[in-house]
Structure 1
Amino acid sequence: MIVDGFFIAGVILCALAVLLGVLATIMRDYPDDFALVSVALLEVFLVVYGIAAAIRQAGGQTINGEPWEFWGYLLTALLIPALAFIWAVTDKSRWSNTVLAVSGAIVFVMLFRMEQIWDGALPA
C-alpha cells in the first residue's frame, strides 16, 4: 500500500483525538475542551481531505477501487466526528469523552480503508 501525506496527517490527528479523549475520560467528569478541539480539527481535516481528493480525481488521478465506495466512506467519516462533537456538547458526562475517543478510532479505520480503495490494495 502506498501511503501519502494526507493519510499520515489523518493518522496523527486520529491518534491525538483518541489519546485526548481517553485522558479526558480518566481525568474529567465532563467533556474536555482539548478533546472537543481535537475532534473538531479531525472534522476540518476530513473536509480538506475530501476537497483534495476531488481535485486529484478531477485532475485525472484515478481511484483504483470503486469510486462510490471511496466517497461513501468519506461521507460517513465526515458524519462521525460531527455527531460525536454534538453528543459531547449536549451530554455533559464523563462518557462523552469516551465517545470522542471512539470517533477518532473509527475515523482511523475509515481513513485506512479509503487509502486502500484509492490505491487499489486488497483489504487484509
Structure 2
Amino acid sequence: MIADPFFWIGTGVCAVSLVICLIAAATKRYPGDAAILSVAAVELFLLVFGVGAIVRQAGGDHVRGEAWEFWGYELTALVLPIAAFWWAILDRSRWSNVVLAAVPITVFVMLFRMEQIWNGAY
C-alpha cells in the first residue's frame, strides 16, 4: 500500500497540532490561540481532504473499500475539532489542552483508516 500525499500532509498537520497542544498542557496554561489554531488547522485540512476526495471520486478514482465507511470516518473527523473547540472555549482550564491534544491523535488514526479504505487494504 502506497499512501497518497494527502495522508502524509495530514500526518504532518496532526503531529504539529499534537506537539503544540501537549506543550500548552505541560506548561499548565489555559487554551491559548496557538493550541486552538492548531486544531483549527486540523479542521481546515479535513475540509480540503474531503473536497479532494470528492474531486478524486468524480475523476474516476473510486474507493476500493466501502464508500459509506470512508465518508462516515470523514464526517466524524470533521465534528471532532469543532467539539474540542467548544470544550476549550467553555472550560478554560489546563485540561482543555489535553482535550485539544486528543483531536490530532484521533484524526490521525481516522486518516490512517480512511487511507486503508481508499486503497482497499484491510
Same fold (TM over 0.5): yes
In the aligned structure 1, how far is the partner of 2:24 from the partner of 2:103?
A: 14
The number of equivalent residue pairs is: 122
**Secondary structure of 1:80's partner?**
helix
Shift of 1:54: 0.5
Residue 96 (structure 1) shift: 0.4
Q: Which amino acid aligns with 1:30?
A: Y
Distance 1:109 1:81 in 2: 14
The residue that corresponds to 2:11 in the other structure is 11
Separation in structure 1 between the aligned mates of residue 37 and residue 119 of structure 2, nearest angstrom: 31
CA RMSD of aligned residues (A): 0.8
1:53 match: 53
Gaps of 5+ in 1: none
Give the 3-state SS of the residue equivalent to 1:86 in structure 2.
helix
Structure 2 residue 39 is the aligned partner of structure 1 residue 39 = yes
Q: Which residue of 2 aligns with 1:80?
A: 80
**How many angstroms does 1:61 deviate by?**
0.6
Partner of 1:92: 92
Residue 64 of structure 1 deviates from its aligned partner by 0.5
* CA shift digits 1:1-44 (9 cap, x unpaired): 22111100100111111111111001133102111111001101
User: Moved runs in structure 1, 4+ residues, more than 6 A?
Assistant: none
SS of structure 1 residue aligned to 2:30: coil
SS of the counterpart of 2:111? helix
**Which amino acid in the other structure matches residue 67 of structure 2?**
P
Please list every run of 5 or more consecutive structure 2 residues that lacks an aligned counterpart in the other structure.
none
Query: Helix, strand or coil for the counterpart of 1:2?
Result: coil
Between 85-94 and 65-74, the greater mean CA deviation after superposition: 85-94
For residue 28 of structure 1, give the secondary structure of its aligned residue in structure 2: coil
Distance 1:28 1:37 in 2: 18
